[in-house]
Structure 1
Amino acid sequence: MPARLGRYAVRRRIGSGGFATVWLAYDEQLDSPVAVKVLAENWTEDATVRQRFLEEGRFLRKVESPYVVSVYDAGELEDGRPYLVMSYADQGTLADRLEVEGLTPAQALEVVRQAGAGLQALHERGVLHRDVKPANVLFRTVEEGGAGAVRAMVADLGLGKALDVSSRLTMIAGTPSYVAPEQAQGEPLDPRADQYSLAAVAYLMLAGRPPYAHASLAAAAAPAPPPPVSTSERPLPPEVDAVVRRALAPDREDRWPDVTSFVAALDAALAPAVSAGAPAAWLPVDPDLTQPGARPTARPSVEPLADPVPPRRRRGRLVAGVLAGVVALAVGLGGGYAVQQRQVHDATVADDSGTLFVTVPHDWAAAAAPAGWTAPTDDGGRFPALSVGTSADWTDVQSADQGVFVAILPGTELPDRMPRHPECAEADEPVDGTVEGHDARTVLYTGCPGGVTVERVVQLAANRLLWVQIRSAHSATANAVLDDVETRGI
């Protein structure tokens, strides 16, 4: 973790993706927390990606709306990487909220109103968002009427484009379950593409499920009609379904003229369901979500822990790229404890070789084994590995403890079969995709002792696999830890 980014004192990492890392930092001159987005090191020399990163800041600066994340400053680090200083969303994202609990129709409508106002502000200044989804709707505490309230803002214009550019050349990108069909097909875009994505988010909040579960952009290019928004568990007026379906029309000519029209129609359709009106604080301020905390102080020292007992699950074999029957392998782990505390909520742990890094909730770092392992392959061999958990026994089959196991092992292709977890009630179908440009396969298991289990294998290099196993009480935490696994030197 860098001590400073420009003139900003760094507290901890908020998140990272394929192109950038976002840090929570402190503006000592203005006595305020800020979010600093830094271009990833591996893209520093790519002129196209660098330009796209800087364009995000320029697009956001065009808009002065309380419902769009603000850019306060920009700069360049000593190594040449650009960074953007933005408003800090201390109340997390819509995706965070939906993981914990659903929203009432009144709350869902207010999210659509505020996010829609942000999108309309972008459109009026000639900017498309192109990646509207729950993770890109942020919540921030603001002072209203002498009390704290929560405001929604649209953020992350990494895929954003000026309308005049989008009309000539469009890069096929976006999140499959929320992307408009014309965007998935690579056609020229207009603001109705963002309207479609906002409607998909509205459907998710109102119905409690997304309208689509597209596994690829190809599937999003020709969507089937979604089920009705209203269900027996969540009854809504029939007019609501008609409004949302129009916004989700595959042919953009059949949609509402603009985002404002869609929001107004949804407001009218939902009136019977929200006749009592939303409370003044339509979403309560959640003190347990990410908060800025106190002014930065020196990081405390950490005493080494005794060697934890290595995970003790059934051993399997990886032969010709097939991970057969592996549940949790961490044989040979042991040694010291390398952890750098960021603040009370997070800790970053590294293996002894400096190859593997993972950021976890602070209480997960109670026991760590960073000394590597002997890979369960025909030729064996010693490879980097790291186990971190709330206890040394977190990998026991019936344990409700939480933790993450990360390891490198030889392999030239992804496994045909993923590890099985008979202790869990259900296993989702394997999801194939990419992680920062590398082929990956992920399986989520639910109904496990203590919560969920996630298995992921990534083709890190031509002859190296990265294996990640996570056990967590909540899938939101598991996803956050998945996003915070890093490798260096491979």
Structure 2
Amino acid sequence: MPSRLGRYAVRRRIGSGGFATVWLAYDEQLDSPVAVKVLADNWTEDAAVRQRFLEEGRFLRKVESPYVVTVYDAGELDDGRPYLVMSYADQGTLADRLEVEGLTPAQAMEVVRQVGAGLQALHERGVLHRDVKPANVLFRTVEDAEEGTVRAMVADLGLGKALDMSSRLTMIAGTPSFVAPEQAQGEPLDPRADQYSLAALAYLLLAGRAPYAHASLAAAAAPSSPPPLSSPERPFPAEVEAVVRRGLAADRAERWPDVASFVAALEDALAPVVVDDAASSWLPVDPDLTQPGARPSARPSHDSLPAPVPPRRGRARLLAGGLVGVLAVAVGLGVGFWVEQRGEGDETVGDDTGTLFVTVPDDWARAVAADGWTAPLDGGEFPALSVGTTADWTDVRSSAQGVFVGILPGTELPAQMPRHPECDTAQEPVDSSFEDRDSRTVLYTGCPGGVTVERVVQLAANRLLWVQIRSADSATANTVLDAVDTRGI
């Protein structure tokens, strides 16, 4: 842990993902906690990634809204890494809240209203968010008699694009269960893509479940109608259902004209439901969520620094594997991975929990994500590891090479393996058993850049191990596939 980032004294790491690490720090001149987002050191020399990182700060700086995270400062460390200094969300994320309990209809409406206001502010300044989801809605404590004590803010514009750029070139990315179909298909975007994501978020908050459980962007590209919003446990008027379904229309022309129109319509439809609940619409301060703590000294003592965790050595060989679709959306780019040189031309990379390991050609280990993922369907956090020649190796159009390994819950192998329409041929699934562990493997050929391999293994009674490999040739893919190891399971 660094003691300082620029002029800011560091308290602790908040988290990492999307090419960067975020630290809780103090602005000692203004006596205020701040969040400092630092580009990961392995991306410092990548001009495109560096530009994308700086663009996030510029996009956020354009917007003066209480519902969008504020950028206060920007700078560059001695090693050349840029950083952004932003408002600190001391009350965590919407994802944090949903892990503990659901929201009342009045609270859900208030969150949607505030997030919608943040998105509308971005759109009015020509910026798309493109990744609206619970983890990107932050809460901070405010002193505002009219707006309660906790305010929602839109954060993380790592996928954000200026509207003039999005109309010409759109990178296929986003979170499958919340992404608009046209975004998953790589079409030019407009603000109605963010409206779709907000409608999906509203559905989740009201129904207590997401409208879709897409495991990949390929699934999100061809959506079906979501199940009814209402349930016996959470009944809603038909007007509420109609508003949300219009926001989730597969054809963007059928959606609301803009985010503000969607929010206003939902507020009117929910009025009969929340009329007796308006007083409790504001989220309470949660003392168990992240708090800034005491003001740090400029030079923290050695005892206050976390002890280093030694890498776990030893290997338990396992023929393992395969994950679905585009996986970069599920795994944050962390910097806590473990790498061991395994001989000329090879490196073994481990995730930051010491659970997953894979040996790859050393030129693959340029983009490593090792801090876990949110498993599809279940939504829980599990160990995961992504290693590739570029950060976008999972893009269906990319010819880059890489491997993803992830653990997720499951009591049996899936009946259907992921599909890869970008490839020419899918071979028949091969079922096998190794060390009493059943597995299923599919090889796809004629893919951009070579071949793709998907494998799933019944790792334990209630755990599956998925592997996806993209390689220039089958020989390299098989070598990497055989070099996937697990520990502790």
TM-score, normalised via structure 1 length = 0.69
SS at match of 2:75: strand
What are the superposed Cα offsets for residues 206-248 of structure 1, whole Å, 9 maximum, x if unpaired?
A: 1111111111111111100000111111111111111000000
Instruction: Tell me, yes or no, if structure 1 residue 301 matches structure 2 residue 303.
Output: yes
Distance 1:69-1:302 versus aligned 2 partners, 3 A rule:
closer
| Matches of 1:244 and 1:146, distance apart in 2 | 27
What are the superposed Cα offsets for residues 148-178 of structure 1, whole Å, 9 maximum, x if unpaired?
A: 7100000001111111111111111111111
Write the letter of the residue equivalent to 1:124: E
Distance 1:122-1:304 versus aligned 2 partners, 3 A rule:
closer
| Matches of 1:78 and 1:49, distance apart in 2 | 19
Q: Which residue of 2 aligns with 1:23?
A: 23
SS at match of 2:278: coil
Q: Which residue of 1 aligns with 2:94?
A: 94
Whether the 8 Å CA contact 1:18–1:40 is kept in 2: the answer is no
| Matches of 1:211 and 1:385, distance apart in 2 | 34
Write the letter of the residue equivalent to 1:231: S
Distance 1:21-1:50 versus aligned 2 partners, 3 A rule:
same
Q: Which residue of 1 aligns with 2:212?
A: 212
Whether the 8 Å CA contact 2:356–2:405 is kept in 1: the answer is no
Aligned residues between the structures: 382
Distance 1:222-1:458 versus aligned 2 partners, 3 A rule:
closer
Q: By how many angstroms is 1:445 displaced?
A: 3.7
What are the superposed Cα offsets for residues 282-301 of structure 1, whole Å, 9 maximum, x if unpaired?
A: 11100110110001142453
Instruction: Tell me, yes or no, if structure 1 residue 165 matches structure 2 residue 147.
Output: no
1:276-355 aligned within 5 A: 276-279=276-279, 282-297=282-297, 298-299=300-301, 301=303, 318=317, 321-322=319-320
What are the superposed Cα offsets for residues 82-108 of structure 1, whole Å, 9 maximum, x if unpaired?
A: 111000011111111111111111111
Q: Which residue of 1 aligns with 2:54?
A: 54
Q: By how many angstroms is 1:356 displaced?
A: 3.4
Distance 1:446-1:107 versus aligned 2 partners, 3 A rule:
farther
| Matches of 1:411 and 1:431, distance apart in 2 | 18
Q: Which residue of 2 aligns with 1:330?
A: none
1:214-229 aligned within 5 A: 214-229=214-229
Q: By how many angstroms is 1:11 displaced?
A: 1.1
Unmatched 5+ residue regions in structure 2? 322-334, 343-347, 365-377, 394-401, 412-461
Distance 1:407-1:206 versus aligned 2 partners, 3 A rule:
closer
Write the letter of the residue equivalent to 1:215: A
SS at match of 2:85: strand
| Matches of 1:246 and 1:137, distance apart in 2 | 23
Write the letter of the residue equivalent to 1:81: R
Q: Which residue of 2 aligns with 1:343?
A: none
| Matches of 1:23 and 1:282, distance apart in 2 | 28
Whether the 8 Å CA contact 1:427–1:446 is kept in 2: the answer is no
Q: By how many angstroms is 1:460 displaced?
A: 12
**Stretch of structure 1 that moved more, 141-150 or 75-84:** 141-150
Q: Which residue of 2 aligns with 1:13?
A: 13
| Matches of 1:268 and 1:226, distance apart in 2 | 22
Whether the 8 Å CA contact 1:443–1:455 is kept in 2: the answer is yes
Q: By how many angstroms is 1:80 displaced?
A: 1.1
| Matches of 1:170 and 1:295, distance apart in 2 | 43
Higher relative contact order (CA 8 A, sep 6+): 2
Q: Identity rate of aligned residues, in percent?
A: 69
Q: By how many angstroms is 1:42 displaced?
A: 1.5
| Matches of 1:427 and 1:154, distance apart in 2 | 21
Unmatched 5+ residue regions in structure 1? 324-348, 358-371, 376-382, 388-403, 414-425, 472-490
Instruction: Tell me, yes or no, if structure 1 residue 356 matches structure 2 residue 320.
Output: no
1:142-161 aligned within 5 A: 142-145=142-145, 149-161=149-161
Instruction: Tell me, yes or no, if structure 1 residue 440 matches structure 2 residue 404.
Output: yes
Distance 1:251-1:150 versus aligned 2 partners, 3 A rule:
same
Instruction: Tell me, yes or no, if structure 1 residue 68 matches structure 2 residue 50.
Output: no
Q: Which residue of 2 aligns with 1:481?
A: none
Q: By how many angstroms is 1:410 displaced?
A: 5.0
TM-score, normalised via structure 2 length = 0.69
Distance 1:40-1:303 versus aligned 2 partners, 3 A rule:
closer
Q: By how many angstroms is 1:433 displaced?
A: 8.9
Q: By how many angstroms is 1:12 displaced?
A: 1.1
1:466-477 aligned within 5 A: none
Whether the 8 Å CA contact 1:460–1:466 is kept in 2: the answer is no
Instruction: Tell me, yes or no, if structure 1 residue 44 matches structure 2 residue 44.
Output: yes
Whether the 8 Å CA contact 1:148–1:285 is kept in 2: the answer is no
Whether the 8 Å CA contact 1:455–1:469 is kept in 2: the answer is no
Q: By how many angstroms is 1:146 displaced?
A: 10
| Matches of 2:306 and 2:114, distance apart in 1 | 48
SS at match of 2:95: helix
| Matches of 2:70 and 2:255, distance apart in 1 | 29
**Stretch of structure 1 that moved more, 194-203 or 162-171:** 162-171
Whether the 8 Å CA contact 1:427–1:444 is kept in 2: the answer is no
